[in-house]
Chain A
Amino acid sequence: MTKLHMLGSNLLGLIIAFGLSATATAQMTINGAGATFPYPIYSKWFDDYAKVDPSVRFNYQSIGSGGGQKQITAQTVDFGASDGPMSDENLAKAPGKILHIPTVAGADVVAYNLPGNPALKFDGDAIAGIFLGNIKKWNDPKLAALNPEAKLPDMDLVVVHRSDGSGTTYIWTDYLSKISAEWKQKVGTNTSVNWPTGLGGKGNEGVAGQIKQTQGALGYVELIYAIQNKMPYADVKNAEGEFVKPSLESITAAMATAQIPDDFRFSITNAPGKSSYPIAGATWLLVYEQQKDAAKGKKLVEFLKWALTKGEGMAKDLEYAPLPENLRARVLKRVDEIKM
């Protein structure tokens, strides 16, 4: 009997201890879901922010931009994330006003595989021609004129594109729609489109794999991916007629010169400015202007401010382009207007 009694009191003690420790470390969890492209930097932010404010924990599911938009609209998460801005139609479905908070940006590069891998240059016309299936050979006069010093072989062009819906494709098709009327009319802009030509690879790794193994292949991958896999990628002619190498600096430059409206639903493809790389795009966090839960809203705003100041400093280490100073100031001001 005494044994049982002791066991009982031990158990009681345990329960109390658990209860106490639970209240002592009571944490607020802020849930988010969406884009996969910024997932590495977001998880670094959430990790580091746990040291800044231990009372709040962020839980982010990288389920894709489509899912991010759906879940923030349905209010099943506290914030969403998307690689493309939400359409007017989708915004209208939300029960409140959704703000777009740009965080970082990336670029698509033209990656290729040729014997000897010479440095190449492309302009919008050439890229559109290739992806529309009008330019079929590497020694096409258009490509030869752009690359007088490279010896282009008499080889079939094998076009490779993403088969899965992705922000990368959104940026790519957005650029092509701006540069080519034919593309805009025949294909258009979306996270996945009806491709006139080419092979579909799943994910950056699928596209990169096919390019690496196929002589004569050309496709687009994220800049980070091309750098990490040491793939050759081309300079692209921008709106001012300059050939620009894709880099974090030339992406930030594009954001600094692009026309950015006050709702931050902007596109930085084919941006003006001499040093802007033309095939780039930002990624956004999606939050309600009117927060339902005041305590959570306050913490979320604190985090957003931290991300847009301290957080931006970490971007380059992870190969993301940070926002330019002028844009960052505007976004911070908007974050201040979030209401609890």
Chain B
Amino acid sequence: MQILRSAVFGPAERNGIAQQMSPPSRFGDKAFEWLTLAMGLTVVALVAIVGWQLARGSSLAIDRFGFHFLATSTWDPVAENFGALPFIYGTLVSSLIALLLAVPLSIATAVYLTELAPLWIRQPLVSLIEMLAAIPSVILGLWGIFVMIPWLRDYPFPLLRRLFGWTPLFSGPVYGVSMLAGGIIIAVMILPIITSVSREILRSVPNLQREAAYALGATRWEVTRIAVLSYARKGLFGAVILGLGRALGETMAVTMVIGNTPQIRASLFAPGYTLASVIANEFSEATTDIYLQALFEIGLVLFGITILTNLVARLLLKTMAGAGTTRAVQ
């Protein structure tokens, strides 16, 4: 109560109160600290509970298949023989394609929006990009089936095949639905988040940075490259990691365009499958225990991959931190 009052009252009264309550009570500070600590721990607990539930739900499958689950490629619900390798492969490859496509595009967009675009165009563009994030996944998926896939199959894919058909990556028959199509749709979905986070980060680069570079006679490109991008490196990397997190778990839209075939093929034109997709596809109709447990284990694997990639990303970020910021500051 006293603390509340001290916030409301003017300086004179506050002094009076402060004299009354010597030594000053730290109860409010302490309470706040405990409260935030509790909130923080809740998040940790949630993650732990999810992990524990997944592990418990899949204990039978883990016992029965062991390490084989991660290393074999058969997914046979009739014979109850399950291996997750094609799904792991599909998740990683589709996310990687998505990052390769979305990161340059997003960061370039963010640079344009903060450094180059005329002021009047910025807000409408930002709103448009944020609207892209609001499109439900399933709608994007339907758009993928009915618009994107036929177009990809008729124009860009044959062209890619003509140009790069000699590499295993772009060989084989073109169906439209494919690992590449899955990667492209994920790229569309993670573009808004990477762009808006990158934009916020570039906006937070102090103007002093830019002014200093200009003062040294740098061109606009040099200012952007040296003073802005290099300075913001760490933050931009963080934005990419946020995008990756989303890419790994993306489900509905990917399921609709990836072809849902559990196989590992070098060609990006071949259909694939992801961890999240197989859960979405098969969970509701799985009737036997071991089948359900195998799907739970797929969830556990996805959970593990997400945590692992985040950890690796954090480590990379640490090694990068020194170099990026100090050079920019120097």
Inside 8 A of B114's CB, which chain A residues have their CB? none
* Chain A residue nearest in CB terms to B285: A165
Q: Which of B74, B141, B284, B286 has the most CB of A within 10 A?
A: B284
Contacts of A64 in B (CB 8 A): 283-285
Chain B residues with CB below 8 A from A86, complex form: 287
Question: Is B175 interfacial (CB 8 A cutoff)?
Answer: yes
State whether the Cβ of B166 lies closer than 8 Å to any Cβ in chain A: no
Q: Which of A160-180 contact B (CB under 8 A)?
A: 163-167
B310 to chain A: closest CB distance in Å?
Answer: 28
- Judging by beta carbons under 8 Å apart, are B78 and A199 in contact? no
Q: A164-B280, A200-B271 are in contact. Are A194 and B78 (CB under 8 A)?
A: yes
Q: Are A158 and B77 in contact (CB under 8 A)?
A: no
B75 neighbours in A (Cβ, 8 Å): 194
A53 CA to B71 CA, complexed, in Å? 57
A25 to chain B, nearest CB (A): 34
Residues on B with beta carbons closer than 8 Å to the beta carbon of A163:
255, 260, 277, 281
Q: Is the CB of A189 within 8 A of B78?
A: yes
Chain A nearest CB from B330 CB (Å) reads 53
B146 — which chain A residues lie within 8 A by C-beta?
A: 209, 213
* A195 in contact (CB, < 8 A): yes
B261: interface (CB < 8 Å): yes
Q: Quick one: which of A189, A191, A201 contacts B260, CB cutoff 8 A?
A: A201
Closest to B138 in A: A202
Q: Does B158 contact A (CB under 8 A)?
A: no
Whose C-beta in chain B lies nearest to the C-beta of A167? B285
Q: Is A188 in the interface zone, CB < 8 Å from B? A: yes
A187 at the interface (CB under 8 A from B): yes
Among A163, A166, A192, A194: residue with most chain B CB under 10 A: A163
Q: A189 vs B175: C-alpha distance in the bound complex, in angstroms? A: 27
Chain B contact-residue range equals 35 or more
Q: For chain B residues 151-192, which have a beta carbon within 8 Å of chain A?
A: 153, 173, 175-177
The answer to whether B77 and A199 touch across the interface, beta carbons within 8 angstroms, is no
- Is B121 located at the chain interface by the 8 A CB criterion? no
List residues of A (53-81) whose CB comes within 8 Å of B's CBs: 63-67, 69-70
Residues of chain A within 8 A of B176, CB atoms compared: 210, 213-214
Cβ-neighbour of B286 out of A66, A199, A210 (below 8 A): A66
Q: Is the CB of B285 within 8 A of A194?
A: no
Question: Does any Cβ of A come within 8 Å of B259's Cβ?
Answer: yes
Q: Is the CB of B285 within 8 A of A191?
A: yes
B29 CB-CB contact with A under 8 Å: no
In this complex, how many residues of chain A approach chain B with their Cβ under 8 Å: the count is 39
Contacts of B76 in A (CB 8 A): 193-194
* Residue A129 at the chain B interface, CB threshold 8 Å: no
Interface string of B124-159 (1 = CB under 8 A from A): 000000000000000001100110011001000000
Q: Is A89 an interface residue (CB 8 A)?
A: yes
Residue from B177, B282, B287 within 8 A of A210 (CB atoms): B177
Task: Please tell me if the beta carbons of A214 and B288 are within 8 angstroms of each other in the complex.
Answer: no
Interface string of B283-297 (1 = CB under 8 A from A): 111111000100000
A193 engages B177 (CB within 8 Å):
no
Contacts of A188 in B (CB 8 A): 78-79
* Contact across chains for A210 and B260 when beta carbons are under 8 A apart: no
Check A2 for interface membership: any CB of B closer than 8 A.
no
A166 to B75, CA, bound (A): 16
CB 8 Å contact bits of A26-63 with B (1 = contact, 0 = none): 00000000001000000000000000000000000001
Is B256's CB within 8 Å of the partner chain A?
yes
Least Cβ–Cβ distance between A53 and chain B, in angstroms: 31
Distance A279 CA – B176 CA, assembled complex (angstroms):
29
Please determine whether A199 and B177 come into contact, CB atoms closer than 8 angstroms: yes
Given A158-B175, A194-B74, A214-B175, the answer on whether A209 and B145 have CB atoms closer than 8 Å is: yes
B281's partner among A89, A165, A198 (CB-CB below 8 A) is: A165
Contact, CB under 8 Å: B177 / A166: no
With A193-B77, A194-B74, A206-B145 already in contact, the answer to whether A200 and B260 are too (CB < 8 A) is yes
Chain B residues near A65: list those with CB within 8 A.
284-285, 287
Query: What residue of chain B has the Cβ atom nearest to residue A177's Cβ?
Result: B78
Q: Is the CB of B256 within 8 A of A202?
A: yes
Q: Are B175 and A199 in touch, CB under 8 angstroms? A: yes
How close is A112's CB to chain B, nearest CB, in angstroms? 15
Q: Give the one of A164, A188, A189 with max B CB within 10 A.
A: A164
| A192 touching B271, Cβ below 8 Å | no
Q: Which of A89, A90, A166, A190 touches B77 (beta carbons < 8 Å)?
A: A190
Residues of B within 8 A of A228 (CB): none
Interface residues of A in 90-145 (CB under 8 A from B): 90
Interface flags for B255-283 (1: CB within 8 Å of A; 0: not) read 11001110000000001010001001111
Bound Cα distance A167, B285 (Å):
8
Partner of A66, one of B145, B175, B287: B287
A202 close to B177 (CB less than 8 A): no
Question: A195 contacts which of B141, B142, B261, B285 (Cβ < 8 Å)?
Answer: B261
Whether A192 lies near B285 (C-beta < 8 A) is yes
B255 near A67 with CB under 8 A, answer: no
List 8 A–B pairs whose Cβ atoms lie within 8 Å, in order of A's numbering.
A36-B284, A66-B292, A156-B173, A163-B260, A191-B287, A210-B177, A213-B153, A214-B153
Beyond the given A165-B281, A193-B76, please list 9 additional residue pairs across the A-B interface where CB-CB is below 8 A. Answer: A66-B292, A165-B282, A167-B285, A194-B75, A200-B261, A200-B281, A205-B142, A213-B146, A213-B176
Q: List the 6 shortest-distance A-B pairs measured between CB atoms, nearest first.
A: A165-B285, A200-B260, A64-B284, A163-B260, A188-B78, A194-B76
